[in-house]
Amino acid sequence: MAQVFLGVGSNIEREHYIGAGLDALQHLFGEFSHSSVYDSAAIGFDGQPFLNLVVGVETHLEIGELARQLRQVEFEHGRLENASRFSSRRLDIDVLTYDDRVGEEAGITLPRAEILQNAFVLQPLAELAPAHLHPVVGQSYGELWRGFDKSKQQLQRIEFCWRGRQLSGGCDVA
């Protein structure tokens, strides 16, 4: 089984599509680990703020089949086939790491460069797997987050509940 970290985000009907994405991931992988959910500004384009989190799964799927299935989940939730990288989206699921593989496999660059570039990826990854080492730079995600210039990108942890499960903040399950 491969250990995989996925970045999950949405900036259109954010709460709905994050929940729908988590439902789909649970259907594909069963139980998974997750970070808190963070609110962040759109980067690279003018758009509504995103909700982002990182999910950890274990899978027997090879990287190409994993990417195909994740893309299908995005399409089932309204992603346009010709959508620009820097555009609004209902659901975005990116493979951040696949075990400790490095390089390009099945059109996926591993590890994803945004881990080192964007707070909305690194902070939730550091929260979820602080001692896990980045396979290229050899530092833990916790160390990388501590050294990240946090003045560049502001994140806010938000209260978020999914199926009565606390992902961030408190859950009112009454």
Per DSSP, the residues of 52-114 read: EEEEEEEE-S-HHHHHHHHHHHHHHTT--TT--SSS--S-EEEEEEETT--EEETTEEES-TH
- Mean predicted confidence (pLDDT) in 13-23: 94
Q: How many domains does the chain have?
A: 1
Q: Examine residue 171 and state whether it is found in any structural domain, yes or no.
A: no
Give residue-wise pLDDT tens across range 90-132.
Answer: 999 999 999 999 999 999 999 999 999 999 999 999 999 999 9
Whether 78 maps to a domain, the answer reads yes
**Of all residues in the chain, what percent carry a pLDDT higher than 70?**
89
Strands 37-40 and 50-59: antiparallel
pLDDT at 68 over 70: yes
Check whether 168 has a pLDDT greater than 50: yes
The enclosing domain of 46 has a CATH number of: 3.30.70.560
Please check the confidence at residue 174 and state whether its pLDDT lies above 50: no
Residues contacting residue 2 through CB under 8 Å, at least 6 positions apart = 58, 59, 60, 61, 98, 99
pTM over 0.85: yes
Domain encompassing residue 25: 2-166
Q: Is the pLDDT of residue 16 over 80?
A: yes
C-alpha 9/C-alpha 93 separation (Å) is 7
Q: What is the pLDDT of residue 78?
A: 72
**172 falls within a domain:** no
